[in-house]
Amino acid sequence: MRRSKVLSSVLVVGIVLVGIIGARSLVAAKHAPAYMLHVSGKVLAIDAKAEILRLEAEKPLDALSGGRLVDFAINGKTVIAKEDRRVQPTELQFGEQVQIEYVVERGKNVARSITVDESTQIHTPKDVDTPQESEPLAPTPASPYGAPR
């Protein structure tokens, strides 16, 4: 009789200890520091409303699937730098080469910073110098086969 009381007491203490240890490891996992990951690639799409950036990575992120198309969540904490200034997600353009620092949170790639590579920036017509006076086009030489009919 006495032996069964001792065994049940030991069992209760064991269950309590396992519960405490399990709860501590759960809390530690929840507050574990996220590892910063890096990727470079080309901007394929940006959805500012859904806060998603789609990237064609230079190298596959997942060695098993070999996939190079990757979506990144962007939010108010994401720092986007272009020409040494902070910009909005809508200022990113299709085809721009970017470097992204990100973490994986709850199975999602969350961008912490996005930096546009200045050497591959897309230039819009307002960025391109145009001559003040346009010169008339020179006539093209006549075809050796005669005028078109």
pLDDT of residue 135: 44
Residues 6+ apart with CB under 8 A from 97: 40, 41, 42, 116, 117, 119, 120
Taking the model in full, what pTM does it have? Answer: 0.59
Tell me how far apart the alpha carbons of residues 70 and 59 are, in angstroms, rounded to a whole number.
11
- Mean pLDDT value across the chain: 75
Region 66-91: mean pLDDT is: 90
pLDDT of residue 25: 55
CA atoms within 13 A on the CB side of 22: 6
pLDDT of residue 5: 73
For residues 52-83, b (16+ Cβ closer than 10 Å) or e, as one string?
bbebebeeebeeeeeebebebbbeeebebebe
Confidence tier at 42 by pLDDT (50, 70, 90): very high
Say if residue 26 is exposed, middle or buried (CB neighbours under 10 Å; 0-12, 13-18, 19+). Answer: exposed
Among 33-37, 94-98, 134-138, name the most confident range.
94-98
**Above 90 in pLDDT, residue 52?**
yes
The domain defined by 37-123 carries CATH number 3.30.830.10: no
Region 93-117: mean pLDDT is: 93
Region 15-26: mean pLDDT is: 59
Place of tokens 């789609």: 54
Tell me how far apart the alpha carbons of residues 109 and 130 are, in angstroms, rounded to a whole number.
41
Please tell me the least confidently modeled range out of 28-32, 106-110, 123-127, 131-135: 131-135
**Above 80 in pLDDT, residue 129?**
no
Amino acid at 120: T
Q: How many residues does the chain have?
A: 149
Phi, psi dihedrals of residue 70, rounded to the nearest 5°? -135, 135
